[in-house]
Amino acid sequence: MPDFSSLPTKAKERLARISNAVSGVLPTETKTWRIQTQVLVEGGNEPDIINDVRKWAAKDSVFLYTFTLTSIVPDLSLLTTAFASAKAAEKGNRAYARLNPPSKCMYVGSSEKIHQRIKEHFGYGAKGTYSLQLAYWAQPFNLEIEVECAKYPAATTSEVLQSLEDTLWAELLPMFGRQGAR
């Protein structure tokens, strides 16, 4: 049976520990790529950017990343409608991320295998992994998307990485995905 009366003290201690652990944790490197959604073809070949990310991503690293719209989109609700339609129809038998209110930031995430995760978001990875699945709904919009990745040492604990991701999520309020550990 949990001791709810001691929970505030335990939470305070846990948060202080995390606060100390994240202090001074900086990426060793950041890199940005841009892609036009018109090159993301359902069932087509994966774009070259995935191989570029694979080459950049060192082993023994963990990553935070964002997907941000750099195109001017007068009505973001058109994007959310297209995404919601693809998700509702289970287009491509794919797992689609959660839909949130419209935002220029599309997604915030973390990964140990960043090239694989980006591949999934583009719509070329595992069908059952929740992601953007851009090739299945975004191509007609010819959007330009900036993918920015921050590389951290592999010794960065999952608790620290998750705290950094959650903070970035709360700051950017992405249009897709969810905050918190999976």
Residue 22 pLDDT class (50, 70, 90 cuts): confident
Q: Which stretches of the chain are DSSP H helices?
A: 7-22, 48-56, 76-88, 114-122, 158-172
d(CA 105, CA 26): 22
Domain regions of the chain by residue span? 28-172
Residue 181 pLDDT class (50, 70, 90 cuts): confident
For 149-156, what is the mean pLDDT?
95
Task: Give pLDDT, residue 182.
Answer: 63
Q: How far is CA 94 from CA 36, 42, 114, in A?
A: 21, 11, 19
Task: Give pLDDT, residue 168.
Answer: 97
Handedness of CA 7, 12, 17, 22 (dihedral sign): positive
Given a cut of 90, whether residue 2 has pLDDT beyond it is: no
For 151-162, what is the mean pLDDT?
94
d(CA 127, CA 66): 21
Q: What is the pTM of this model?
A: 0.92
For 43-66, the pLDDT digits (tens) are 889 999 999 999 999 788 999 999
For 17-24, what is the mean pLDDT?
87
Task: Give pLDDT, residue 51.
Answer: 95
For 69-111, the pLDDT digits (tens) are 999 988 999 999 999 999 999 999 999 999 999 999 999 999 9
Task: Give pLDDT, residue 116.
Answer: 96
